[in-house]
Amino acid sequence: MTLDRPLRVLHVFTFFRPDFTGEGIYLERLQPHLCAHHLHGDVLAVATAAGGASEWTGCPDCGPVVRLGLGSDGAAVKLIRLWLWLWRHLDRYDLVHFHSNVDRFFIAPLLCRMRGRPVVQSCTLDDGAGKRLRNYRAVYRPLVKRLMRRIDMYVAISPYLFRDCLRVVSAEQVTLIPQGVTPPTDDRPRVELRHAAGCDADAFMLLFVGGLCERKGVADLVEALPGLVEAAPAVQLHFVGPELEPGLAVALRRRAAELGVAARLHWHGASPDPTPWYRMADAFVFASHREGFGNALLEAMAAGLPVVARRLPGINDYFIEHGRTGLLWDEPAEMVDWIGRLGADLTFRQQIGAAAADSAVSALRIDRIAGLYEKLYTGLVSRP
């Protein structure tokens, strides 16, 4: 159903820019497409340091980011400010979309329901309804389960999270909406991009994009680097993304030096737009142990890069067909073997990259994903 007026959605996060969150970055990319469907949004960041309101890159019709600065400990005395803010401002919105679990007491979504506002809850990492329920003591779980079922709709971004939600709620209360991707528009020659970034024009450039943290498996990549050098002698490993765990980058450099491969490791920090990095790389490597989806994989695929990723059942094997649109591995030795083959066989590299781009762009274009949100939001707002 399509309404005859624009909808205004309140997007609620624990953290938002300038704090790094993949879900926040993704909403900023998605919001212009939501606006094209007449779904305008404001952002409320519960934990990010307070600084009044500021604009964000949604679209001209979107409101400001409001940062409450409550921290992330979830204490009830702090959450009172969130509850009061919602009570005072809910009249502005048709629907509230929680992108993280900001309130372990469920008062915030209940307030929205009391004011007649449908509530959507995203599940984007290890926060499906089933996993979230297990985080409570057994004595509280019957009550928590009842409260969780008061959410109008759960949005799972992968089949893994969808199945986890079904442990608690019915199939009618959860929907699968994967992440979407925008086809890259930067068509500058690879040599030009590498020269501008100070990268070796002749290297076999292996790229990782994402926040540096333990769960992303970046230490595994450094440990595998000597084997990668043996398998692909021209290999260089480039990290693009913020350091989320202080001291990790220093530790990685130190370990690379101990392994004798320090000259092969390059750290570029955060990038507001990683598109040029995808364009200049030869292959994309992903060693994450836990993900809700793995949007950087999808971005790399859309850019025509062959991706070599740790297999995460129900997550990245949902959109990567092993051997055709990407290469999945279970043990680091398999990763090394696949990268060695990519480095030695340009035709194989191009075949995987071309199939990846075609698959990502045809199935998961971000404007089509915005259409799924339009259907979800308008259906919830329109129902009796």
Instruction: Report the C-alpha gap between 221 and 288 in whole angstroms.
Output: 10
* Between 56 and 200, residue with greater pLDDT: 200
The share of the chain scoring above pLDDT 70, in percent, equals 97
Q: How far is residue 181's CA from residue 201's CA, in Å, rounded to a whole number?
A: 28
Flag the least confident range among 46-60, 255-269, 337-351.
46-60
- Three-state SS letters, 337-377: HHHHHHHHCHHHHHHHHHHHHHHHHHHCEHHHHHHHHHHHH
Using alpha carbons, select from 279, 286, 270 the residue that is nearest to residue 303: 279
Quote the pTM value: 0.93
The pLDDT, as a whole number, for residue 139 is 98
Q: CB of 209 within 8 A of CB of 277?
A: yes
Q: Is the dihedral of CA 45, 50, 53, 58 positive or negative?
A: negative
What confidence tier does 1 reach under pLDDT thresholds 50, 70, 90? very low
Q: How far is CA 191 from CA 199, 203, 299, 303, 346, in A?
A: 9, 11, 20, 16, 16
Range 66-95 average pLDDT: 93
- Percent of the chain having pLDDT more than 90? 86
Tens digits of residue pLDDT in 147-195: 999 999 999 999 999 999 999 999 999 999 999 999 888 788 889 999 9
Average pLDDT over every residue of 253-278: 94
Higher-pLDDT residue of 53, 325: 325
Tell me the two tokens of residue 312: 């995460």
The SS3 of residue 96 is strand
Taking residues 287-314, report their average pLDDT.
96
Instruction: Give the pLDDT mean for 125-136.
Output: 94
pLDDT of residue 155: 98
Cβ count within 10 A of residue 359: 19
Q: Is 80 exceeded by the pLDDT of residue 238?
A: yes
pLDDT value at residue 373: 98
Angle at 105 between CA 100 and CA 110, to 5 degrees: 85
Q: What is the DSSP string of 320-338?
A: --BTTTBEEESSHHHHHHH
Q: Which residues touch 330 (CB under 8 Å, ≥6 apart)?
A: 310, 311
pLDDT tens by residue, 185-197: 878 888 999 999 9
For residues 304-315, average pLDDT: 97
Give the least confident one: 106-120, 241-255, 325-339: 241-255
Q: Classify the phi-psi angles of 205: left when phi > 0, otherwise alpha if psi is within -120 to 50, otherwise beta.
A: beta
Name the residue type at position 62.
C
Per-residue pLDDT of 38-80, as tens digits, reads 999 999 999 999 876 666 666 778 888 999 999 888 888 899 9
Strand partners, 122: 155
d(CA 47, CA 16): 8
Whole-number pLDDT of residue 3 = 63
